[in-house]
């Protein structure tokens, strides 16, 4: 299978920088699979799962919001945070889930509510993905 | 007389020495914090550079592009985001950036309204003391700022901007060019000023639409700018403190050597005097 260059960048580090055969990523418009030679494409990413195929095997990671950019010679994913499913601290994710629910119930303004909701989505995404190995 | 004078000098040497130990320790702490902050700032760069490039490409490809973040509004209310340190003892670090912000404030406040968003205790104190209009204050966040922390500040700013309560946002911070050189910076954030050359356009498919992607990148971009500014300011603060403390340690060393000289002279004089007294006493007995 033809491979292409994939780079996943977060504000803390370059999370992934290697050749890959296929990726499947969830955009705001739905899941999209990308193979080598894809047209130029840019989409917004909510918190969601991300699959990358390396040597025929899929690896799953959790992405906490960002954007994907496909250009002629490379695919770049800008993620606020990214973790492989096996690296997710599910205890921490559960605590953050409870905290998010608490914040939603206690939120006084639109702004607080919106932020808590995003936090809840990130936590749920992490919990879900940590169970998909 | 001579012995009490010597005691005083001895006491002063001791006090200068203990001050020197403190300044030396602060110097070491500052240089280790500086290294960490520099690393954090460097790690964040690739992310925000790519983000900015993507935004530029969107503007470039779409000749009819229009977003509320790039449109200029009438300047009625300006928000000044001022990043300073949480602590003093860092040479001119806090004073320099506050002075720059103050001069911009004076300029703007003549014919429009200005609101301040201070980050860092020194900035909060400065603007509160002068009774400036403050939007939200942030203290003690610089050292452990995460991207989510910066995101929350950015969201707040965007929230207020979208409600038309502010028309412009400008940022003041200190750039840590090198451990020895820091420079105060003043940059406009919103409206975004993206200049592109439309000569080499490649077609890209945007989902859901160029505007939607652009508008969702904006909060992240602003968070990135703020994150960079806060981390850079923190690095600059540590660099300034390290230089200031290095100078203080050098001064302490110089003071100690001067005082030791004075002390030794006094001791010598006391001994000489004692000998003279003994000799003259012995002479008188003969």
Q: What is the pLDDT of residues B200-211, one digit of tens each?
A: 666 788 888 888
**A131 vs chain B: nearest CA distance in angstroms?**
25
Q: What is the pLDDT of residues B86-139, one digit of tens each?
A: 988 888 889 999 999 999 999 888 888 899 999 999 999 999 998 898 888 898
Round to whole Å and give the CA distance between A120 and A115. Answer: 9
- CATH 2.60.15.10 boundaries in chain A: 4-85
Q: What is the mean pLDDT of residues A119-133?
A: 83
- The whole-number pLDDT of residue B73 equals 77
Positive or negative: CA dihedral B143, B148, B149, B155: positive
CB-closest option in B155, B159, B213 to A42:
B213
CB-closest option in B48, B204, B227 to A41:
B204
Between A133 and B103, where is the model more confident? B103
CB contact under 8 A, A44 and B224: no
CB contact under 8 A, A11 and B204: no
Query: Crossing angle of helices B121-129/B93-108, nearest 10°?
Result: 40
**Is B1's pLDDT higher than 60?**
no
Contact map slice: B 139-198 vs A, CB within 8 A: 147-148, 151-152, 155-156, 159
Q: What is the pLDDT of residues B233-251, one digit of tens each?
A: 999 999 999 999 999 999 9
Q: What is the mean pLDDT of residues A76-88?
A: 87
- The whole-number pLDDT of residue B118 equals 93
CB contact under 8 A, B50 and A76: yes
Within a 10 A sphere around the Cβ of A18, how many other Cβ atoms?
Answer: 11
% of chain B at pLDDT higher than 90 = 40
CB contact under 8 A, B50 and A115: no
On whether any CB of chain B is under 8 Å from the CB of A31, the answer is no
ipTM of predicted assembly, 2 dp: 0.78
Least trusted range by pLDDT, from A40-49, B44-53, B191-200, B219-228: B191-200
Least trusted range by pLDDT, from A52-66, A113-127, B197-211: B197-211
- The whole-number pLDDT of residue A133 equals 62
- CATH 1.20.5 boundaries in chain A: 89-130
- Tally C-beta pairs within 8 A across A and B: 77
pTM for this predicted structure: 0.81
**B48 vs chain A: nearest CA distance in angstroms?**
7
**Is B21's pLDDT higher than 90?**
yes
Round to whole Å and give the CA distance between B117 and A62. Answer: 34
Contacts of B50 (CB under 8 A, 6+ apart): A9, A69, A76, A78
CB contact under 8 A, A11 and B147: yes
Least trusted range by pLDDT, from A23-37, B48-62, B217-231: B48-62
- The whole-number pLDDT of residue B171 equals 92
**Is A111's pLDDT higher than 80?**
no
On whether any CB of chain A is under 8 Å from the CB of B63, the answer is no
- The whole-number pLDDT of residue A3 equals 86
The residue of chain B nearest to residue A116, with distances taken between CA atoms, is B152
Banded model confidence at residue B265, pLDDT cuts 50, 70, 90: very high
- The whole-number pLDDT of residue A76 equals 92
> Residue B217's closest CA among A76, A87, A59?
A76
Contacts of B274 (CB under 8 A, 6+ apart): none
The residue of chain B nearest to residue A41, with distances taken between CA atoms, is B205
Q: What is the mean pLDDT of residues B66-74?
A: 78
Q: What is the pLDDT of residues B130-142, one digit of tens each?
A: 889 888 889 888 8
Q: What is the pLDDT of residues A95-106, one digit of tens each?
A: 888 988 898 888
Contact map slice: B 189-228 vs A, CB within 8 A: 202-208, 212-213, 216-217, 220, 224, 227
If you average pLDDT over every residue of chain B, what do you get?
A: 87
CB-CB neighbors (< 8 A) of B54 in chain A: 42, 67, 69, 78
Round to whole Å and give the CA distance between B225 and B123. Answer: 19
CATH 2.60.15.10 fits A4-85, yes or no: yes
CATH 1.20.5 fits A89-130, yes or no: yes
């Amino acid at each position: 299978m033809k491979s292409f260059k994939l780079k996943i960048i977060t504000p803390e580090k370059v999370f992934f920088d290697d050749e890959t055969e296929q990726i499947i990523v969830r955009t705001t418009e739905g899941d999209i699979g990308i193979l080598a030679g894809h047209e130029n494409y840019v989409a917004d990413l909510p918190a969601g799962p991300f699959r990358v195929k390396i040597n025929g095997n899929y690896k799953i990671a959790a992405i906490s919001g960002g954007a994907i950019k496909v250009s002629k010679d490379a695919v770049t994913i800008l993620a606020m945070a990214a973790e492989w499913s096996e690296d997710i601290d599910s205890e921490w994710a559960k605590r953050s889930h409870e905290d998010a629910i608490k914040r939603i119930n206690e939120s006084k303004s639109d702004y607080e509510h919106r932020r808590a909701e995003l936090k809840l989505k990130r936590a749920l995404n992490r919990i879900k993905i940590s169970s998909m190995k | 007389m001579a012995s009490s004078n010597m005691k005083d000098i001895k006491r002063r040497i001791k006090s200068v020495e203990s001050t020197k130990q403190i300044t030396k320790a602060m110097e070491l702490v500052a240089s280790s914090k500086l290294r960490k902050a520099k690393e954090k700032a460097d790690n964040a760069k690739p992310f925000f550079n790519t983000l900015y490039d993507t935004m530029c490409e969107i503007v470039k490809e779409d000749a009819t592009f229009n977003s509320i973040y790039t449109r200029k509004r009438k300047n009625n209310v300006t928000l000044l985001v001022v990043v300073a340190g949480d602590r003093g003892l860092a040479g001119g670090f806090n004073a320099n950036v506050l002075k720059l912000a103050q001069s911009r404030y004076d300029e703007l406040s003549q014919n429009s309204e200005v609101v301040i968003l201070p980050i860092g205790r020194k900035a909060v104190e400065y603007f509160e003391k002068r009774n400036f209009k403050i939007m939200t204050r942030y203290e003690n966040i610089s050292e452990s700022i995460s991207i989510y922390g910066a995101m929350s500040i950015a969201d707040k700013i965007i929230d207020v901007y979208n409600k038309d309560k502010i028309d412009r946002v400008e940022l003041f911070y200190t750039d840590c060019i090198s451990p020895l050189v820091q420079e105060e910076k003043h940059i406009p954030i919103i409206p975004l000023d993206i200049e592109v050359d439309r000569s080499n356009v490649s077609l890209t498919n945007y989902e859901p639409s160029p505007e939607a992607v652009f508008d969702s990148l904006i909060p992240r971009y602003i968070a990135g700018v703020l994150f960079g500014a806060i981390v850079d300011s923190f690095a600059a603060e540590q660099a300034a403190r390290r230089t200031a403390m290095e100078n203080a340690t050098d001064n302490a060393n110089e003071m100690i050597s001067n005082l030791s000289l004075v002390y030794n002279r006094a001791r010598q004089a006391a001994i000489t005097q004692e000998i003279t007294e003994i000799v003259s006493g012995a002479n008188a007995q003969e």
